[in-house]
Structure 1
Amino acid sequence: MERIGKDDMSLRALATLRMTVFRSWPYLYDGSMDYEADYLAEFLADEAAVLIVARVGDIPVGMATASPMAGQADAIRQPFLRAGRDLGAISYFGESVLLPQFRGQGIGHRFFDEREAAAREAGASLAVFCAVQRDSSHPARPPAARDLQPFWEGRGYRQTPDFSTAMSWKEVGQADESEHLMHFWQKHL
């Protein structure tokens, strides 16, 4: 596992990884290679951004990101601005994706360890991320779907009910994008 910079990897391989993991429950994301590669290139254009990649040989099997809250899109920043929070003290953890066959091996914990260390190094005192909210009776929910809430709580994160946002993306089987409720989780560093 390594922290890497924008010149050290193939954006297309990471874009494929994101699309593969996010296509399954609970995101059900039907993305495009062009969008994903552009998203990653824009993310990595921020010198303060952190990208951690888990690989098997040269193949990325997981990745996690973090960057300053101040540089995030309005949908991410607004709940914190409305609450009068100092954006300069917050690190936003954008995603943590890992292929299913590599789960349960400590990689997810390592992703959080690395991002929390990077956030502290950057002077952040709060780490936050958001996760999609899905009804437990959603028809696309697999019977063996794993709830990540115990994992996040075990890491010291707490859901912040007053902090939510909405993001839009195209779901598998849909023709158009739809809006999805996202709730924030936070941890004091």
Structure 2
Amino acid sequence: MVRVEVLEGAELEPLIPELARLRMAIFREWPYLYQGSLEYESRYLAKFVALPESTLVVVRDGERVVGASTALPLREAEAEFQAPFVAAGLDPGAWYYFGESVLEPAYRGRGIGVEFFRRREARARALGYRQVAFCAVERPADHPLRPPDYVPLDGFWQRRGYTRRPDLRAYFAWQDLSEAQESLKPMVFWVKQL
């Protein structure tokens, strides 16, 4: 039985090992191609535990975690994600930032992605935020590892009411599967007024 629930702050601590495993598995796929490590994933997820304003939307099939989506105040996100807002004269404190959404392939196409956005937007409103944002990695159209049947999610995000903001661009480092070390990846923001 698949169910979706929202956890806040310390409620997600018992799930860190499962969430770390899930993030590493899904982020190996296009367009992230992320090498990853359990150590980094555990550190990354620990910040959500320590922050009462954080949000985790979790999807379980029985007791097994098969999907998750995170959010937190932008002012609590990494400096790399705040920088484009500061440079554009936008106060990071006014924005709620949606982190990753990861979902095992067998559960895609069932409306869970829509639910991720609905639940995070509801949490942002409950916390008093009226502006939300997320960013997506940009890969060249001719990237050699791009699957031939890949369909970008731009249309999905636009149907949720998000607008692409190419003027808000972040650069974040991680190690691709094909790389010997980390390199900066361009990421563009999508925003919405609630």
In the superposition, the TM-score normalised over structure 1's length comes to: 0.96
Unaligned runs of 5+ in 1: none
Higher mean alpha-carbon deviation, 47-56 vs 77-86, is at 77-86
Aligned equivalents of 2:114, 2:11: Cα separation in 1: 25
Q: Percent identity?
A: 46
Q: Does 1:186 align with 2:191?
A: yes
Q: Does 1:157 align with 2:162?
A: yes
8 Å Cα contact 2:48/2:55 also seen in 1: no
Deviation at 1:27, TM superposition (A): 0.3
Partner of 1:100: 105
Aligned equivalents of 1:165, 1:56: Cα separation in 2: 34
Higher mean alpha-carbon deviation, 8-17 vs 32-41, is at 8-17
Deviation at 1:64, TM superposition (A): 0.5
Matched length: 189
RMSD, aligned α-carbons: 1.1
Please list the CA deviations of residues 68-110 of structure 1 after superposition, one character each: whole Å capped at 9, or x if unmatched: 1111111111111122213222100011111111111000000
Partner of 2:51: 46
Unaligned runs of 5+ in 2: none
* Matching residue within 4, 7, 15 for 1:4: 7
Q: Does 1:168 align with 2:173?
A: yes
Q: One-letter code of the match for 2:57?
A: I
Aligned equivalents of 1:7, 1:125: Cα separation in 2: 25
Q: Does 1:56 align with 2:68?
A: no
Q: One-letter code of the match for 2:114?
A: H
Partner of 2:80: 75
Aligned equivalents of 1:87, 1:25: Cα separation in 2: 29
Aligned equivalents of 2:99, 2:54: Cα separation in 1: 10
3-state DSSP class of the match of 1:94? strand
* Matching residue within 66, 72, 93 for 1:88: 93
3-state DSSP class of the match of 1:4? strand
In the superposition, the TM-score normalised over structure 2's length comes to: 0.94
3-state DSSP class of the match of 1:93? strand
